[in-house]
Amino acid sequence: MSVQNQITPSMDQAAVTSIRTLSMDAVQTANSGHPGTPVALAPVTYAIWNRFLRYDPKQPLWPNRDRYVLSCGHASMLLYSMIHLSGIHHVNHAGEVLAEPSLPLDQIKKFRQLDSRTPGHPEFRHTSGVETTTGPLGNGAGNSVGMAIAGKWLAARYNKPGFDIFDYRVYTQVSDGCLMEGVASEAASLAGHLKLDNLVWVYDNNRITIEGDTELAFSEDVGKRFEAYGWHVLHVSDANCLDAITKALEEAGTTKGKPTFVVLDSKIAWGVPGKENHHSAHGEPLGWAAIEGAKSNYGVEPKGQFAVPSEAYEAFRLGMATNGAQESAKWAETFAAYSKSNPELAKEIVQMGAHQLPENWDAGLAPFPWGEVDDPKNPGKKKLAAVASRDAGGKVLNALAKNIPWLIGGSADLAPSTKTRLTFEGAGDFEAKSYGGRNFHFGIREHAMGAIINGMALCNLLPYGSGFLIFSDYGRGALRLGALMEIPVLYVFTHDSIGVGEDGPTHQPIEQLASLRAIPGMIVLRPADANEVSEAYRASLLHNHSPSCIILTRQELTTIDRSVYAPASGLHKGAYVLAEAPGGNPDVILIGTGSEVDLCLSAQKILDSKGVKARVVSMPSWELFEAYCDKNPGYCESVLPRAVKARVAVEMGSTFGWERYVGLEGAILGMRSFGASAPFKDLLKKFGFTVEHLVDLATAQAAGK
């Protein structure tokens, strides 16, 4: 994209200098932050934003805008300075674009202060102009790959002859720290494999980390590594040379069939006397004396603070703002014509942007049968209906994806086991030769998978990723950031307990359920049977400001007879009375999740024969239960009455946290150790998940022992 001819070299210099001085002043005023990287990267960031980024500051939600990701989020003042100087408008929590700026100068002055829009690391939703939450190094890089993937998929589905509705590019700045983290390497490997030529990473090669020179722990040739990944690698030896930077970015824009990796040689805190490439400039304020010396070097008033000359604002007005307004207006005109010739596709784009589901999105989700059914292994004989919840999940996912075209995803090389492959006609695979497929192959890259689907969700898709529950640990950083951003990503985790049997304790999840429940904003659902699986998927898609984890079994689960027991729709309340005690006044309450609910139902029958009245509560989601009780204060009492202190919680996972539902006097039948390698039935006996043991626990509870 060409820059307006009216922008003079003095305007360029004023803008670059303002980025630096705003960053230094804000960090020093806060007495906290990282000033060195914003100072060093001011020229390249200015070039990206004002010479290449197609972005309309007055329309920050324009669907075809180019994306900018600051993966090295510790340099947040670099991004905040850009948002301020370019005049990006504020978007409120209702998604309305307001006339006020996102970051007026008063917000820059409140850097890292309580309730400001300039937190220590950039936060999506919190600050308009921030495309993703970054800080934990490497995750932003992974997000950018997801954004680029989304761009390719959107173009493949929606672009038509004469209508290039989606052709945005993604510009990402990464640091040495990002490239040392495994998540960035995983994501870069996949990006090269997929030939994402709409993706550019600019590597700040300053050779400094918190502890000192990178030679302490990092001596590889990064450029050669990225060449091996299949990237187009460019080198810029002077991070202050706008012409060289511009030439490299122009080449990146014309490169086809490969993402571009620009190695930018820089010195941290460039131009700050005594601080250039000194590790102390990376993670702490520079000091007013050094700042005044730097300002003298830059030719501006040394004592002036938060001073921005009119030339700096004018540079962005003539460049990014003017070009962005033209591009967004042109797109709006094109989309209006597109809507007339492709009304259904245009409607989908609008629904995605509004985070709406299509009409009849859950049509075709028929109830799973219960009771006696034909036994396929014994012709002519009957058996109780049973299906592994992972198998039920595969059927539900396929039914929903048929109705929701932008529900797409895949697994970390485990789709045959997690049953998450979309098998209906036309689903296809997302590949370098075919970007329209809806099945993604993330490879054995759990952390990158999470970061990538976060990036896809940030581009309004509904992505899912799947794997074994035990391996959720590998992607925890991305799981946490998705919850922090409040984005609707879906995880499908199978092989949910010691039920994986012979695979042994390395593959048997114990503490994972508790750890996922500990993430604020994460919805964890562990359905008890096939029909609860259907409701779990419904619930996850209806909560469009939260990530969800659906936890499923490998082993078969008896499909609960809903003509006898409560309907599976109770899942939406998080917990519900599945089987009431005879007479409705229980002696003991059995609380189960997932596969253990059937164990509770079996125990209830034996307890009844012994004269012990038991209520069975299915509790597939702590989070939904707490939320429903907050809005309906009497509901918790109706499910778990305070007067009934005799309670047993049953879950084949860590007992951690269950005290909140059973109390200090209640019992918890759970795992207090790692598992073991043995057939599943032997493990149930070893760890006490038998009807006999549960009956004994419940009887003791009812007797007050």
pLDDT digits (tens, 9 = 90+) for 238-287: 999 999 999 999 999 999 999 999 999 988 766 787 777 765 555 688 99
Task: State in Å, rounded, how far the first CA of the chain is from the last one.
Answer: 77
Average pLDDT across the chain, whole number: 95
pLDDT digits (tens, 9 = 90+) for 430-472: 999 999 999 999 999 999 999 999 999 999 999 999 999 999 9
pLDDT digits (tens, 9 = 90+) for 108-159: 999 999 999 999 999 999 999 999 999 999 999 999 999 999 999 999 999 9
72: closest CA among 34, 43, 127, 44?
34
Could you name the CATH architecture of 32-266+317-331?
A: 3-Layer(aba) Sandwich (3.40)
Distances in Å between the Cα of 582 and the Cα atoms of 142, 562, 604 are 54, 17, 10
pLDDT band at 482 (very low <50, low <70, confident <90, very high): very high
Return the structure tokens found at 51. 């010479």
What share of the chain in percent tops pLDDT 90?
92
Which residue in the list 446, 532, 596, 623 is annotated as catalytic?
Answer: 446
Domain parsing of the chain, residue ranges:
32-266+317-331, 372-558, 570-702
Mean pLDDT on 182-211: 93
Q: State yes or no: pLDDT of 424 exceeds 70.
A: yes
570-702: CATH number: 3.40.50.920
Helix spans in 467-580 (H): 476-485, 512-517, 530-542
Fold exhibited by the domain 372-558: Rossmann fold (3.40.50)
Distance CA 435, CA 643 (A): 59
What is the pLDDT at residue 283? Answer: 66
Q: State yes or no: pLDDT of 705 exceeds 80.
A: no
The answer to whether 301 is a known catalytic residue is: no
32-266+317-331 and 372-558: identical CATH topology: yes
Contacts of 462 (CB under 8 A, 6+ apart): 404, 406, 407, 408, 488, 490, 541
Mean pLDDT on 81-89: 98
Distance CA 391, CA 530 (A): 8
Q: State yes or no: pLDDT of 210 exceeds 80.
A: no
Contacts of 436 (CB under 8 A, 6+ apart): 153, 156, 157, 428, 430
